[in-house]
Amino acid sequence: MNRSILAAVLIVGLALSGAANAGKVYKIINPDGSVTYTDTPPADNQKTETLDLPPINEQTAVAPKAKQPDSAESDESEFSGYRELRIVAPENDATIPPGQETVQVRASLSPGLQPNHRLQLYFDGKPYGTASSSLDGILSALYRGSHTLQAAVLDPNGDQLIKSRPLTIHVKRGIRQAPAQSQSSN
């Protein structure tokens, strides 16, 4: 590689490394005639030349800010309502076997749940638990028999915006039998 090109590459490298930004750059001509560039002051017996480099042009990268809505009202003014709400798990007519203590409920909502809206589960027509910002829920401590399950989206005032079709689940529980009594002969 041509020495002048190598020298230019070294100068640019030092300038970009930030070392040159903090102090001086020295050009050292070695006894064999080779040239070295450094930011360390050379020994007294070496032939040196101090280079004045122009300041480095630095620019701090600033990420653009994401556009934020002016208020929650602007989100709701753009929202035109829900198209569909349905329970996807458990399936309609699912049987909950003996020993299963909880049932995972998963809803599908289109479009997605809006800010300040909550999903309320209904078990046998009555609210089950508290309304949540999640489309998943858990039923627990279920008693034996067939039960209806629904979900509804509530606005901040507690008014229903959309309600799913009801589905039926069947909870099976084992029967406890009394211990057999021994018959004593008289």
Shared-domain flag, residues 89 and 40: no
Please give the residue range of the domain that contains residue 113: 81-171
Asked if residue 39 belongs to a domain, the reply is yes
Shared-domain flag, residues 118 and 159: yes
Asked if residue 69 belongs to a domain, the reply is no
CA atoms within 13 A on the CB side of 63: 3
Indicate the pTM of the whole model: 0.53
Rg of the chain taking only CA atoms, in angstroms: 38
Q: What is the CATH number of the domain that holds 122?
A: 2.60.40.10
Asked if residue 164 belongs to a domain, the reply is yes
Shared-domain flag, residues 45 and 93: no
Q: Using one digit for the tens of pLDDT, what is the confidence trace for 137-176?
A: 999 988 899 999 999 999 999 999 999 999 999 999 876 6
pLDDT tens by residue, the chain, 186 residues: 566 666 666 666 655 555 444 567 778 887 787 888 787 777 766 677 777 767 666 666 666 666 555 544 444 457 889 999 999 999 999 999 988 889 999 999 999 999 999 999 999 999 999 999 999 999 998 889 999 999 999 999 999 999 999 999 999 987 666 666 655 555
Shared-domain flag, residues 26 and 107: no
Q: Give the pLDDT score at 74.
A: 46
Q: Give the pLDDT score at 7.
A: 62
Asked if residue 180 belongs to a domain, the reply is no
Shared-domain flag, residues 43 and 88: no
Asked if residue 60 belongs to a domain, the reply is no
Q: How many domains does the chain have?
A: 2
Shared-domain flag, residues 86 and 135: yes
